[in-house]
Structure 1
Amino acid sequence: MSDTDVGVPWRSPRLYLLLATAAVAPLDVTLVGPALPAIADAFGVSSARSGLVITAFAAPGAVLAPIVGMYADRFGRRRVVVPCLLVYGGAGLAVTLATDLWQVLALRAIQGSVGGSILASLTLALVGDYYDGPQRNAVMGVVSAGISFSAAAGPVLGGVLAAYSWDAPFYLYGTSVVVAAAVYWLLDPPPVEGTTDREGSWSYLRDAAASLPARDALLVYGATFGGFVLFFGGVLTAVPFLLEGTYGLASGRVGALVTGATMPAAVVAVLNGRFARHLSNLGLVTAGFVGYAAGLVGVWAATSATGVLLTLGVFGVGHGLVLPSVASALSTLAGPEFRGGVMSLRTSVVLGAQAVGPPLFTLPATRLGLGYELPLALGGVGAALVAVGLYAAVGGRSGIRVAAAGEP
């Protein structure tokens, strides 16, 4: 197998169109979060009510993601991605015209019904359509890295723009409209164009469920849920409170430390294609959970903010192994005619983890008075147990394998 079969096709315009589509997806919450205080001031509401701007976006996506994925399978993924980009960007731009908070919430709900994580999952489904074998892992890694970099840049951009006006961050959603035009005119149709010959939604759902190997699907979706619970609850929620309360860091330094520590995820994700030459997708996920365990236990054992930074870097390495590997595993499990729905179900799993993760770490710390160190340590122990269970299930190299380029 040559490097051209497994490497990243850096000269391909298609790759950059997929990267652009993936890059606008994480601007859903990360861009708006820093603007919440300005939104509260602009409309004269409490911080709790301004926080509904985030909730209004997230709730529709959790329910509608599999439905959007179903239509992407039935009518063609590119044909669904373009309207989703247009609605996502258009509704975001329309927020700048809102004169009342309810208008902002309504527009955010429209955005969330088609954008954010849904767009990310559809983009990953397109990667599965265009690429095979280790090259699929390589491109999944690059696209996942693009998502990570965009997610890291979102709070910085949102904070800078919100300093000018509450609605300034929402102008950035106009980039989604530009990307939609580029995808429509320049992205070549994927090999899988969808089919409309199914009897209906129930028939699709029945056939999609029947097409998945139950054991492997449970392992992959379960690993996805567990990884994002640790990420949202541990790294993005508990660690900032720990850094502020134990080490007395201001919010600006906390954000910089967390962002810097998670950057290894993007770097490692880019290398996923190389790792996939030696391990199956679930083998890489297993290694990723070892990184989760070492990172969280390391945060518990750290005695300084620098120690937290270094051990979070280990967690980031684990996250960089898990993200593209679970996406590649799902693409391998799903038949081409069901890939959009299977990948979009991943969105619902991620959003579920986003809802469950923070309380799992904050409630023991606040209600039981345990502090944040112990829940983080327990999270690390849980990750280690998951790693052991995955290793037993996949048997090292076995499990969901990475096919050679050109293999069915």
Structure 2
Amino acid sequence: MSHVITLNAGSSSLKFGLFSLPSDDPVAICTGIVDRIGSAGATIRAKTSDGRTLGGDVADGIADHHEALNHVLDLIIQQFPAANIAAVGHRIVHGGPDHDQPILLTPESLAALDELSPFAPLHQPYNLSGVRASVERFPDAVQVACFDTAFHRSHPWVNDTFALPTEYYDKGVRRYGFHGLSYEYISGHLAKTAPLLHGGRVIVAHLGNGASMCGMIHGRSVGSSMGFSAIDGLPMGTRCGQLDPGVVLYLMDQKGMSVDEITELLYRKSGLLGLSGLSSDMRTLEKSDSGSARRAISYFNFRARRELGALAAVLGGLDAVVFTGGIGENSALVRERICVNMGWLGIELDHDANTDHARIISTPLSRVQVMVIPTNEELVIARAAARFVYPHMYETLLDKASPAAPPPADGSGPE
């Protein structure tokens, strides 16, 4: 039996998985996460399909993603020495304007993706470093890139452009959208479990250390809170989110800040960390009694509520809201504060169900169904990698998991 490793690098974490490839769908043998990379509190946590818990605290911490990756690969090789690694699937944050499907990684495609690193400096270099390391460890395995931007390539033109001279759009300065692997999983999950909602107007809130929201019609992305880079839209753990570009000009012209200094500020010193002065982790902020922590949470929720209303306008209405991601799946407080007093939009929250982390957290009378669905980007990556190993076996499976539908031809459509 063949196996697939999945690698999913976030800004401060590395999710991973080991999947076997039977005839129907990849099956997880082990999944885990390296959390809080770059801090003294780094941990490796993994669970196997037979219930074993692997990993634990890393005494000396984990300095960077390359070190985290080596820990992961060592764990997999040591714990599953008989695994036949046929493919390694990689989450690659930025695929540019041309990639709307996973691709086989070659030296040429890897070099082309490296040129997109300035578009996603907090992620792309780590993603590609993972590719190079896995090529060294598994030289005979197929290496597959799965792009976070691919899901959003169905955007209508008006949701894909900026009001700049068109020559810049042609050069790639456009709204890409991110977290596409998570949205693809949620879309496929709804298609199987709630087909009527899947065929309607759905907003998915992927809230974590990186955060964004996506508006879907018929399971296809028509609008996203993120734009040209993974810094746009909602505030995040250390990223500022939406920002008047005049602020950047001011910092350069009046404060004499360099590009590197501004990059450090906007990507690594802002967001929940910058607002609270305490932590980038929502779990820590919710436990804190400090006023700055409360203000950071309030700003996060305010921006999410604002984006929820904006995307409902893009969709021309709303049938469902799905919370996913680390914060979306686990913070009842954040979900409540985003949904409270949203009756005008058709949302009526069931507070008890929300506190209990139920799958459906809206009341039976709510016109908009509100759900909590754990995302599974690793399974999306494993399916894509499996397609390159056994193309005939998995072709039908992936088509069913991500059903196609034409983009809307309403007021939000292309011109």
Establish whether TM, by shorter chain, passes 0.5.
no
Q: Which has the higher contact order (CA 8 A, sep 6+)?
A: 1
Higher helix share: 1
Higher strand share: 2
Q: TM-score, normalised by structure 2?
A: 0.28
Q: TM-score, normalised by structure 1?
A: 0.28
